[in-house]
Structure 1
Amino acid sequence: MKRLTIERLGHRGEGIARDGDARVFVPYALPGETVLAEVAGEQARLAEIVDASPDRVAPVCPHYAHCGGCAVQALRAQAYADWKRGLVETALRNAGLSLPVAPVIDAHGAGRRRATFHARMARGEARVGFMAARSHEIVEIDSCPLLAPELAGALPAARAIAHVLAPRGKPLDIAVTATLEGMDIELRGAGPLEDHESGALIEAAAAHDLARLTNHGRLVALRRAPFVAVGPARVPLPPGAFLQATQAGEDVLGGLVLEAARGARNVADLFCGVGAFALRLAREARVSAFDSAAESVDAMCAGARATSGLKPLGGAARDLFARPLTAQELAPFDCVVFDPPRAGAPTQAMEIARSPLRRVVAVSCNAQSFARDAAILVNGGFAAKNITPVDQFRYAPHVEIVAVFSRGEGQKRPKRSLLG
């Protein structure tokens, strides 16, 4: 057992201390605290808080410090917001950029509208919950205070599904999404189902009033076709499709993107998903949208066709990692919005930097990859006007970012967009 002084919070929400010349990461410890911890290499287990931080508050969940779903629940609100903002500032600084970052916008709203529960099987029984921090051990939970009210029945439904498949002994991921028609569940890890398993799952779907149940994208039970509200549209939800974690988060991000693109008449939306930005932008501009997930692009286009008052919105399936839009293809646009996955999109950012574009709106859920891509744009002549962190992942070490980049006059653009 060692006595440690916590110096700061790391980017994963763990307290960082010094043990001689070595850094030690202490989950659930806060800056300024003196703690007793069991140390094993760089990792430590918090045993006792000797001197608590004045910023320490009571956690909102009894599973905190066991369940790994939340990293920082015991930190006072202002200190927590400062830490989240600091994640972006530090990442930019590490990328060689000195840029101002706006205060964090809280976008937790009513709570998470999607969650993935994990199930592990032993002796024909299923344990369902979230994983412990830095572990594959399952922490069984009876409720989660971060979930939206529409997911109140998510855990009982996940347990019922896991119980049906427990004899297989395979680990499962059970992704639950709140839709306008009720809960939509996508299973991963089960593999092809036997007829008796499908029958039992159909009964579970009915018992828990699921809108739909799919297994690796294949339909198991459909009671009501699930739709989600995306800006002005009603969009059919593909199985397992990506959505922003909270409805409030999507609304805040969409509002920031819409304001940043205001006045543009021809916009490209890269990594568009089901159209969180494209469908909002199409109220004011012609939009060409691209994503590798063809089913998400099709869903976005279906939503657009069923929505009146939108300007032309074209969608195309394209792997923007393997085939980024080139500088020449980007030339027709007044503005580009890009929202890549956590890994970022350096190759696409390079093409944007080489293009004659004058306005870019970058959205990211990872501070490190955002900073790297931002550096590419800055080195390409862009200046960052606004960098706004958005917190829809309350208590987690993740932060959304919306940034606006602009530069001076470029060459003339043709009037037609890439998609006609």
Structure 2
Amino acid sequence: MADAVKLTIERIGAKGHGIAMRDGEPVYVPFALPGEAWAQNAGAWSLASDANPERVSPVCRHFMQCGGCLTQHMSPAANRAWKRDLVVDAFRHRGLDAEVMPAVVVGAASRRRAFLGVERRGREVIIGFREEGQHTLVDLSECPVLDPAIVAAVPGLREIAKRVMVDREGGRLVVTRLDHGLDVSFDNGRKDLSAHERSTVGALAETMRLLRLSVGGEVIVARGPPVVTIAGVAVTVEPGLFLQAVPEAETLLADLCVAALPKRLKTAADLFSGVGTLTLPLARRAAVTAYDSDKRAISSLANAVRHAQGLRPVAAIVRDLYRDPLSVRELNAFDAVVFDPPRAGAAEQAERLAKSKVPVVMAVSCNPATLARDARTLIDGGYRMGPVTPIDQFLYSAHVEAFAVFRR
């Protein structure tokens, strides 16, 4: 039998795995930390030395099986440093020596939205996250990341799934905590529920006091206003609309944007605005034009503004900024611009911004790589970049939010 392969971990990679070198090539070892020696025998890795002092016991029984978390074996300090390093490395890859602040970490059990897998096998229902790198679901019994109200609802959601999910088929379950309760959507649920089944499911939802229940895209139960409060404004949220993962992070991002605004300010633009996460805080200070391709999000924002008090004028416009980015001339009408695009970033819009005269540009991103790319474009266009703030609202995962401000 061949001898076991033994390697020493040098650093943590972008996906949270330990990285060792073998014959000049990187080897990725799950759950390994720098300085530790790991041995591989028959394809399985095991710790072969004293543990790194930053190694801690996981806070959840599902860790190392559930793919929702990757780094519960790291101490809070090590996690925080790694998240900051993800941002540092992304900017360095673009030739930028960014001033990256210490990562701000949200509180535990604070995530208000869960995208869960759901599978029905006869009378048995499994709800949870998938195993790392696998399609197998890990049945959820606890979670240190999700809002406790979401975790507490899982047993009841299993009962509903027995009635709304097709046997031997899986799907996606989205649960969001809004101001007055849980909004639940079985995205792949049955579309042929009988009147009796609807009544039964509705009674279960009432017992659980769900705010809203949707099955296969159709609302079955609506008990109250599905709103979330943003900057003191009640915004009606349709099923599936984007929200920041954690309210604490949403508030911090808004505060950073407002603090970065120029002293001489009349007009601002919010690009990729969604339902107004940043539009509404900015509208306390300036007239804001918000752009997003999602018609439902823009409708929700426009309706919220009509019923709000204390805001400057807000224009909510449907526009696909990937296909039709704002022109330089349009951008020059604003004193400040914020953009918060999907993970792909906003390459073409950043190019237009780089050619504009906008005094202050603020960037928010959940992908440090595309943020760094767009930052490179702005800097090459003459902007100066201030400190970059990482926000860890995706606890124990390989994702991190970041905020940066650019000035002429």
TM > 0.5 = yes
1:281 corresponds to 2:276:
no
1:166 Cα offset (Å): 4.2
- Deviation readout 1:249-296 (Å, 9 max, x if unpaired): 111111111111253220000111111111011111100001111111
- Deviation readout 1:85-143 (Å, 9 max, x if unpaired): 10001011111212211111122365111111101344563221111111211111211
Helix, strand or coil: the match of 2:10?
strand
CA contact (8 A) 2:108 2:144 kept: no
Query: 1:381 & 1:179 partners in 2: Cα distance?
Result: 42
Partner of 2:228: 228
Partner of 2:162: 163
- Deviation readout 1:186-237 (Å, 9 max, x if unpaired): 2222363332554443233223211001235431211212111111111111
Query: 2:159 & 2:261 partners in 1: Cα distance?
Result: 46
Partner of 1:398: 399
Q: Which amino acid aligns with 2:75?
A: R
Helix, strand or coil: the match of 2:185?
strand
- 1:135-174 correspondence runs (5 A): 135-174=134-173
Partner of 2:249: 249
Partner of 1:190: 189
Partner of 2:84: 85
Helix, strand or coil: the match of 1:219?
strand
The more displaced of 307-316 and 262-271 is 262-271
1:39 Cα offset (Å): 7.2
Q: Which amino acid aligns with 1:187?
A: F
Q: Which amino acid aligns with 1:95?
A: R
CA contact (8 A) 2:36 2:47 kept: no
- Deviation readout 1:334-363 (Å, 9 max, x if unpaired): 010000011111111111112221210000
Q: Which amino acid aligns with 2:362?
A: V
Structure 2 gaps, min length 5:
none
Helix, strand or coil: the match of 1:25?
strand
Query: TM-score, normalising length from structure 1?
Result: 0.91
Q: Which amino acid aligns with 2:160?
A: I
Query: TM-score, normalising length from structure 2?
Result: 0.93
Q: 1:4 aligns with which of 4, 7, 11?
A: 7
Q: Which amino acid aligns with 2:170?
A: P
Helix, strand or coil: the match of 1:153?
helix
Counting aligned pairs with the same residue, the percent is: 39
The more displaced of 284-293 and 4-13 is 4-13
1:160 Cα offset (Å): 2.3
1:17 corresponds to 2:20:
yes
Q: Which amino acid aligns with 1:22?
A: E
CA RMSD of aligned residues (A): 1.9
Query: 2:331 & 2:156 partners in 1: Cα distance?
Result: 46
Helix, strand or coil: the match of 1:220?
strand
CA contact (8 A) 1:128 1:162 kept: no
Structure 1 gaps, min length 5:
408-420
Query: 2:42 & 2:289 partners in 1: Cα distance?
Result: 53
Q: Which amino acid aligns with 2:356?
A: S
Partner of 1:414: none
Partner of 1:33: 36
The more displaced of 254-263 and 188-197 is 188-197
Q: Which amino acid aligns with 1:75?
A: M
Query: 1:321 & 1:39 partners in 2: Cα distance?
Result: 48
Displacement over 6 Å in runs of 4+: none
- 1:296-315 correspondence runs (5 A): 296-315=297-316
Partner of 1:354: 355
Query: 2:33 & 2:300 partners in 1: Cα distance?
Result: 44
Query: 2:158 & 2:132 partners in 1: Cα distance?
Result: 21
Relative to 1, partners in 2 of residues 1:242 and 1:46: Cα closer, same or farther, differing over 3 Å? farther
Query: 1:239 & 1:91 partners in 2: Cα distance?
Result: 33
CA contact (8 A) 1:183 1:210 kept: yes
CA contact (8 A) 1:301 1:315 kept: yes
Q: Which amino acid aligns with 1:15?
A: G
Query: 1:362 & 1:28 partners in 2: Cα distance?
Result: 32
